[in-house]
């Protein structure tokens, strides 16, 4: 059974909720919950197995200025190192981290749903509609 955060994250990835709606929800959380959500999105990104091409395209689509810290990290560091560094950012960067990570997860999960899960799957999180 998926918890509320997992459902919201996956609804954003599937386009059921917009990133703006997700950001509004994220903004209501206390800092410890925000950190937990960022860790959960990182886990989901890893489970979606995005290719370097998907990651690079998603980074270009992040709706933040390219000078924002999470975007800079994603552009300058190897992906796994950038993810770890993003999770270590100060609380003031959590919103930008959320937007960056959810954009990458959305791209990776969309690819997975359209390829390996195209003809149906048993992933509970792919059946939220």
pLDDT tens, N- to C-terminus, the chain (129 residues): 678 999 999 999 988 999 999 999 999 999 999 999 999 999 999 988 899 999 999 999 999 999 999 999 999 999 999 999 999 999 999 999 999 999 999 999 888 767 766 666 555 554 556
Q: What pLDDT score was predicted for residue 112?
A: 77
Q: What pLDDT score was predicted for residue 122?
A: 53
From CA 3, how far away is CA 84, in angstroms rounded?
A: 23
Full-model pTM:
0.89
Residue 69, burial from CB neighbour count under 10 angstroms (0-12, 13-18, 19+): middle
From CA 125, how far away is CA 122, in angstroms rounded?
A: 9
Map out the domains of the chain as residue ranges: 4-114
């Amino acid at each position: 059974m998926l918890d509320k955060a997992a459902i919201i994250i996956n609804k954003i990835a599937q386009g059921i909720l917009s990133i703006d709606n997700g950001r509004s929800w994220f903004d209501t959380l206390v800092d410890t919950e925000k950190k937990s959500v960022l860790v959960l999105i990182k886990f989901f990104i890893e489970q979606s197995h995005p290719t370097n091409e998907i990651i690079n395209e998603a980074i270009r689509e992040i709706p933040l200025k390219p000078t924002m810290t999470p975007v800079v990290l994603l552009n300058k560091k190897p992906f796994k190192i950038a993810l770890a560094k993003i999770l270590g950012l100060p609380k003031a960067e959590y919103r930008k981290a959320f937007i960056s990570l959810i954009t990458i997860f959305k791209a990776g999960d969309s690819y997975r749903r359209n390829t390996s899960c195209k003809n149906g799957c048993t992933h509970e999180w792919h059946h939220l509609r």
